[in-house]
Amino acid sequence: MSRPVVIIDYDSGNLRSVQKAMESLGVPAVLTRDKGMIHDARAVVLPGQGAFRDCATKLDSYGLTDVVREKIIEDVPFLGICVGFQLLFDYSEEHGRTPGFGIFKGGVVRFPHEFTDTNGERLKVPHMGWNRIKKVGDVDVLADVNDGDFVYFVHSYYPVPEESDVTATTTDYGFEFVSSVAKGNLYACQFHPEKSQRVGLKILKAFWKKVEDYE
C-alpha cells in the first residue's frame, strides 16, 4: 500500500468529515498526530474549525507546528481548510494577536460587526452558508470548478494576503475577500470542500491528482 495522505489530528471538529470525504474518492487518508508519520507523509491536510488561537495552541501542545511548517516549506502537496488556511498567515487578530505559520505575509481579520450588501441589506457575521467563488488565474486544483460555483462557508475572520499573486479565488460578502490561495503544491481555502458537495469533491479529487502526479 502506498503512503497515505495525512490529516493532522489535533482535536479540531471537522477532521473526520474531511477524512470521510476523501475516502469516498478512494483517497488513502489517515488521521494522525504522529510526527514520524507526518514527516514521511505523501501529502498533508490541515483542517481547522473554531478559534485561531485555540487551533494554534493545540498544534503547539502536540508539538506539531514545526513539522507541519517543514512539510509546507518542502513543497509537498498540502491542503489547508478553514482555520487550516488562516494558520498559514503571519497572525490573526482573533481573541488578541496570535502568530501563525508565516508562510504567507498578511494577517487574519474580522468581518465588520455591522455592514451591508450592495442592496443595503445587513449582512450577518459569521458568514455562514453557501456563497460563490470567483476564480483568479489558472489553478490546477480548481481546473474542474466553474467560475461562480457555490461552496460552503462558516467563518467570522478572513485572511488579507500582502502578496496578490497567491490569490486563487475571491468571494463577495459585502466586499471581495480572498477565499483561497495557491502556491506551488499548496492549496488552502476558507470554505469547506468536505461540506461543499459536488464542487467540494471536485476540489478534493483534483488535490489527490496533484498528490499522484507529485510522485
Strands 134-135 and 157-161: unpaired
Q: In the chain, where are the structural domains located?
A: 5-214
**Dihedral, CA of residue 197, residue 195, residue 62 and residue 43, to nearest 10:** 20
Condensed to tens digits (0 to 9), the pLDDT of residues 136-152 reads 989 999 999 999 999 99
User: Is 192 a residue of the active site?
Assistant: yes
What per-residue confidence (pLDDT) applies to 173? 96
Select which of 39, 113, 194, 215 is catalytic.
194
- The answer for residues whose C-beta is within 8 angstroms of residue 149's C-beta and 6 or more apart is 132, 133, 199
User: Is 95 a residue of the active site?
Assistant: no
Q: What is the mean pLDDT of the chain?
A: 95
User: Is 82 a residue of the active site?
Assistant: yes
Select which of 39, 55, 82, 94 is catalytic.
82
Given pLDDT bands bounded at 50, 70 and 90, which one contains residue 4? confident
Which triple of cell numbers denotes residue 54?
Answer: 485555540
CATH architecture of 5-214: 3-Layer(aba) Sandwich (3.40)
